[in-house]
Amino acid sequence: MTHTYRVDIDGMHCHACERLVTMNLSAIPGVTVLAADAQEGFAIFTAEGAVDAASVESAIVAAGFTPHGSAVTLEEVEWETPEAASEAPEAASPVDTAPDEPLPAATAADDAEADDSCDTGACPTVPPAPDPAIMAASAAAATASASLGIIGMTCSSCQAVIERTLQRMPGVGSAVVNLAAETATVAYDPHMLTVDDLVSAVRAAGYDAVPRDEDAAPGTAGDAQREAQQKHIRGQKRLFLFSLAFSIPLLLLMVPSIMESIPLIVSELLASTFGGAWDPMMVFKYLSFALATPVQLIAGAQFYRGFWHALKRRTGNMDTLVAIGTSAAYFYSVAATFVPALHNEPVFFETSALLLTFVILGKLLEARAKGRTGDAIKKLMGLQAKTARVVRDGVEVDVPVEHVRVGDIVVVRPGEKVPVDGVVTEGSSAVDESMLTGESIPVEKREGDTVIGATLNKLGSFRFRATKVGAETALAQIVKLVEEAQGSKAPVQRFADRISAVFVPVVVGLAVLTFLVWLLVVPRFVDPSFYADVTPFIKALLAGTAVVVIACPCALGLATPTAIMVGTGKGAENGILIKSGEALETAYKIEAIVFDKTGTLTHGKPVVTDVELAEGHDVDRVFMLAAALERGSEHPLAESLIAHAKERAMHLPHVEGFAAVPGHGVEGTVDGMHVAFGNRRLMAAEGIDIARFKDRIGALESEGKTVMLVGVNGAKLAGIIAVADTLKGNSKEAVARLTQMGVEVYMITGDNRRTAEAIAAQAGIAPDHVLAEVLPEHKAEEVAKLQARGLTVAMVGDGINDTPALAQADVGIAMGAGTDIAMETGGIVLIKNDLRDVVTAIELSRATMRKIRQNFFWALGYNSLGIPVAALGLLKPELAGAAMALSSVSVVTSSLMLRRFKPSMAKNA
């Protein structure tokens, strides 16, 4: 069945933005976009069957925009035909397209005439559209997704080159490249393209690519990529040592005493060997040339290749700047060496060679540091057990964990790791789940309890039936989720992308300007003695080269993704799964947080809290009577009584004549006595006087407890039992901490106000922040009301009946997901049922954003301070090269500092 949905989108500004949204949404299987309107900020599309909100959100984010209110809210709508739309011009009908006709063709055709440029300048980089018809067909038919590992990217300009290369391919719906994770995610039409075609295109763009097998065992998807990266790093290491081997003698040649003696000795050697006359000055130049040339041509070849590929695409990247900078110094020196008219000019071979050496060193250190940003994933992968002991044909055999099948009975002995997910069938033990949940106290496991793969069995032994294996296990899904989050782009990244996109041409322009000013303007205003050592041309050349080199935006491109990688990894270590960079970014802005009451602030299961007895009765007797009756009841509160009775090992007698009295309670005969168990109305109907307990009942109810009365033989009240859903141990602490952090804390519940306020009071939530008597379907509206006040709102719930509210909130936090982390709702999933993790998630988000801002400072600081210094001729090009390399290293190192993040509450716990 086809449904038509509307999704509101923030950030679109122009036709090109509409096209991007259309392309990306159309890449979702079964989705056809009917309209995308930048002005009104929405898209309308049809979907065959149910559409996955997370896919829609990913498509929007991948296009560079944000769903309105941060999380996708899919609103089913009736779409007007074009005729109807033309009759109602005031209605939002941005594109005149028949509903059953895919929009992209129309949109793209419109775009052929429309101006793609954005007045605001706030649009993400939009790939130029190739043939609109091909575009449309590609977008609509892109039904397959491929993940590639990319090798050889140096800065966000490289990222943009690859994205553009892939996006321009007919058959590609969307392509998102992550610089830090070094991955590309491509939606494409398998009828038009193969993964090999995508790999070839990336290679033709001057980079290397390897397909990542996303269906492989957990964490192995990137094995080929890691191998290729290791190979690349080894190659870079060799090049660095090679460059260093030539650069150090070259550098030593610059030391005055060595500069004098070595060329002289060599000249004498040459004269005695070959005869003739040798000029030590020229010998010095030849020596420098001989040392610098291998560096320039061999170690520098990669930069020329990158420069060439970028040039072919009429773009620029770090390679462009390095190639220009080093070539200026090198080729001028070559001319000064071999052109007789320039024999008296100085050479700068050491500049080019040292610059290349420093840049390669910087890349190496950066690759090394970048590798550490993915440590969290490696750590998670390392948790998996290698083998499992399963029962096959009645015999326990050890098999590789990959060979465990669903339904296998797995034996776990003390101290062993649980190999896969399952349900305990025999035995009991305590299992340390801290590696996945962060919870340090081992969890008791008995028959019927679920166990998670990769957790550690403590002292007992047990057997369990495997329920999830391979890529289905909780660990595999956590790894996948974290990998996806690390590969996602946070909106703040757009800032860096926009700057990087214009940086290279601006820098080259600045360098040319610097050169011209130094060559033509400065000499008119300075004393000739200023040029005692070098000519104006040389001064101009050095200043221009330094500007080119210092300005490379490579550090800028790493500022966001490295911090997001470390931040999401750190979250996973603490049992907090942050599903996208966007969720991590939004969480720091949270001003109001809405907790669902049941199951979130409270345990979600009512328990017996109070028992009051009438004279002549004892607890066991009253309980026995009530529990015996409730055994036949389907009332939710019955469970708490039965559980309580079980805990006290009570024998529950048979009930005769059981009857449920709707809205009142239950009654029946127990041990020959007529027992009524229910509310005041039931007691009144039975003619039982409860006057003596009235005050007590009122007091208990004011505490939010449900009070049930036990009447015996239609005359006497035996006692009262109060049942309540109790507050979780750490709820109060978490609420207090959140309030301290300046976050407004709300509680939302379907309960009556009195009960709600009682629980809220226990949690420390003010009565005016209690949203009571709200039906599940209206929770989203309450969240929206808070958003309408201009607040950034997080909703914390169990992700089942809170789905719309979680989706409506700016950040949805799904609690207590436990092993079922496949849940789609919520930008943040908490594995544990611990409210303190909400605090940790916000703290982590704040720490990550702080780190991103620091990174921007480092990255832009180098550039913005370095460029004027270089333009003033105060920075030697080789020092500029070192500074550029250091800026990338400092940004990545700064991100790695985030690994020291410690949750404030866990520390105090």
Partner 1 sequence: MIPESLARRVALTILGVLAAGALALSGCTTASTDGSHPADGVWGYVADADDAQLEISGTATADELVVDRVLSPSDAWLVVHLDDDGTPGMRVGLQHVTEGESLDVAVALEDVTTEKLIVAVHADKGVAGEFDFSMDDPMGSPDRPYFVDRAELAVVVDVK
CB 189 within 8 A of CB 141: yes
Tell me how far CA of residue 878 lies from CA of 259, 349, 406, 504, 871, in angstroms.
Answer: 19, 10, 61, 19, 14
Q: Does 862 bind partner 1 (CB under 8 A)?
A: no
Among candidate residues 37, 208, 497, 596, the one labeled active-site is 596
Judged by CB under 8 A, the residue of 312, 343, 405, 413 near partner 1 is 343
Residues of span 530-559 touching partner 1 by CB under 8 A: 533-534
Nearer to partner 1, 253 or 650 (CB): 253
Q: In this structure, how many other beta carbons lie within 10 angstroms of the beta carbon of residue 829? A: 30
The residue among 805 and 892 lying less far from partner 1, judged by its C-beta, is 892
Cβ atoms of 653 and 674 closer than 8 Å:
no
- Is 527 one of the binding residues for partner 1 (CB under 8 A)? no
Tell whether residue 217 is a contact of partner 1 (CB under 8 A). no
Minimum distance of partner 1 from residue 522's CB (angstroms): 15
CA distances to 324, 514, 525, 536, 902 from 520, rounded to whole Å, are 21, 10, 10, 8, 57
Q: Tell me whether residue 823 or residue 892 sits nearer to partner 1 (CB atom).
A: 892
Neighbouring residues of 720: CB distance < 8 A, sequence distance ≥ 6: 610, 611, 612, 693, 696, 697, 700, 707, 708, 709, 710
**Distance of alpha carbon 404 from alpha carbon 412, whole angstroms:** 13
Q: How far is the CB of 228 from partner 1 (least distance, A)?
A: 22
Q: Quick one: which of 235, 346, 636, 729 contacts partner 1 (CB under 8 A)? A: 346
CB 267, min distance to partner 1, A: 4
Q: How far apart are CA 526 and CA 540, in angstroms?
A: 14
Nearest distance, CB of residue 897 and partner 1, angstroms: 18
Q: Does 361 bind partner 1 (CB under 8 A)?
A: yes
- The distance between the two most distant Cα atoms of the chain, rounded to a whole number of Å, is 133
Q: Considering the rule CB under 8 A, would residue 278 count as an interface residue with partner 1?
A: yes
3-state SS track over 837-848: HHHHHHHHHHHH
656 is a contact residue toward partner 1 (CB under 8 A): no
The answer to the question of residue 529 lying near partner 1 (CB under 8 A) is: no
**Segment lying near partner 1 (by CB under 8 A), choices 103-111, 222-230, 279-287, 412-420:** 279-287
Binding of partner 1 at residue 370 (CB under 8 A)?
A: no
Q: Do 119 and 164 form a contact (C-beta atoms < 8 A)?
A: no
H/E run at residue 622: helix 619-630
> Is 725 one of the annotated active-site residues of the chain?
no
For the bound state, the minimum distance from the C-beta of residue 276 to partner 1, rounded and expressed in Å, comes to 5
Specify the residue, 278 or 518, whose C-beta has the smaller distance to partner 1: 278
Instruction: HSE, CB side, 13 Å, CA atoms: give it for residue 782.
Output: 26
- For partner 1, which stretch binds (CB under 8 A), given 284-292, 301-309, 484-492, 546-554? 284-292
**Residues binding partner 1: number (CB under 8 A):** 45
Question: Is the separation of the CB atoms in 242 and 249 below 8 Å?
Answer: no
Contact 722, 750 (CB under 8 A): no
Q: Which is nearer to partner 1, 210 or 543 (CB)?
A: 543
Residue 285 found at the interface with partner 1 (CB under 8 A): yes
Q: Fill in the DSSP letter of residue 296.
A: I
Q: Does 325 bind partner 1 (CB under 8 A)?
A: no
Cβ 334 to partner 1 shortest distance, Å: 14
Specify the pairing of strand 421-427 against strand 462-468. antiparallel
Least distance in angstroms from the C-beta of 878 to partner 1: 5
Q: Are residues 45 and 22 in contact, defined by beta-carbon separation less than 8 angstroms?
A: no
- Region of 604 on the Ramachandran plot (φ > 0 left; ψ -120 to 50 alpha; else beta): left
Structure tokens at 840: 């940790």
Give the one residue of 83, 87, 100, 268 binding partner 1; rule: CB under 8 A: 268
264 binds partner 1 (CB under 8 A): yes
Q: Tell me which residues in 877-896 interact with partner 1 (CB under 8 A).
A: 878-879, 882
In the bound state with partner 1, the residue whose beta carbon lies nearer, of 368 and 785, is: 368
Q: How far is the CB of 380 from partner 1 (least distance, A)?
A: 22
Judged by DSSP in three states, 417 sits in strand
Kindly tell me which of 629 and 880 has the beta carbon lying closer to partner 1.
880
Reduced to 3 states (helix: H, G, I; strand: E, B; else coil), residue 688 is coil
Stretch touching partner 1 by CB under 8 A, among 2-10, 152-160, 438-446, 873-881: 873-881
* CA 50/CA 824 separation, integer angstroms: 14
Say how many residues make up the chain: 909
Compute the least distance from the CB of residue 253 to partner 1, in Å: 9
Identify the bridge partners of residue 212 per DSSP, sorted by sequence position: 147
Of 194, 191, 187, 190, nearest to 172 (Cα)?
Answer: 187
Shortest distance in whole angstroms from residue 371 CB to partner 1? 13
**Least distance CB 290 / partner 1 (angstroms):** 15
Q: Is 761 in the site for partner 1 (CB under 8 A)?
A: no
Q: Does 836 interact with partner 1 (rule: CB under 8 A)?
A: no
Does 293 interact with partner 1 (rule: CB under 8 A)?
Answer: no
Tell me if 280 contacts partner 1 by CB under 8 A: yes
Q: Does 588 bind partner 1 (CB under 8 A)?
A: no
Pick the binder of partner 1 from 284, 515, 595, 623 (CB under 8 A): 284
Binding-site string for partner 1 from residue 234 to residue 263, where x marks contact by CB under 8 A and - marks none: ----------x--xx--xx-xxx--xxx-x
> Which residues contact residue 883 at a Cβ distance below 8 angstroms, ignoring those fewer than 6 apart?
550, 862, 866, 875
**Per-residue 3-state assignment (H helix, E strand, C coil) for 491-529:** CCHHHHHHHHHHHHHHHHHHHHHHHHHHHHHHHHHCCHH
In the complex with partner 1, which residue's Cβ is closer, 260 or 398? 260
Choose the binding region for partner 1 from 356-364, 712-720, 812-820, 850-858 (rule: CB under 8 A): 356-364
Q: Does 354 contact partner 1 by CB under 8 A?
A: yes
CA dihedral 119, 121, 122, 126 (to 10 degrees): 100
Candidates 70-78, 277-285, 470-478, 802-810: pick the segment binding partner 1 (CB under 8 A): 277-285
Q: Binding of partner 1 at residue 522 (CB under 8 A)?
A: no
Measured on CA atoms in the order 209, 213, 214, 216, is the torsion positive or negative?
A: negative
Q: Is 366 in the site for partner 1 (CB under 8 A)?
A: no
Backbone angles phi, psi at 49, to 5 degrees: 75, -160
Nearer to partner 1 by Cβ, of 271 and 659: the residue is 271
Please tell me whether residue 348 binds partner 1 under the rule CB under 8 A.
Answer: yes
d(CA 878, CA 56): 48
Closest distance of CB 594 from partner 1, Å: 48
For 149-173, give the DSSP string: EEE---SHHHHHHHHHHHHTSTTEE
Q: For partner 1, which is the closer residue by CB, 534 or 906?
A: 534
- Binds partner 1 (CB under 8 A): choice among 26, 58, 229, 357: 357
Nearer to partner 1, 358 or 746 (CB): 358
Q: Quick check: 358 binds partner 1 (CB under 8 A)?
A: yes
Q: Is 107 in the site for partner 1 (CB under 8 A)?
A: no
338 part of the interface to partner 1, by CB under 8 A = no
Rounded Cα–Cα distance for residues 563 and 582 (Å): 13
At position 760, the amino acid (one-letter code) is A
What residue ranges bind partner 1 (CB under 8 A)?
244, 247-248, 251-252, 254-256, 259-261, 263-264, 267-268, 270-272, 275-281, 284-285, 288, 343-348, 350, 354, 357-358, 361, 533-534, 876, 878-879, 882
Return the active site residues: 596
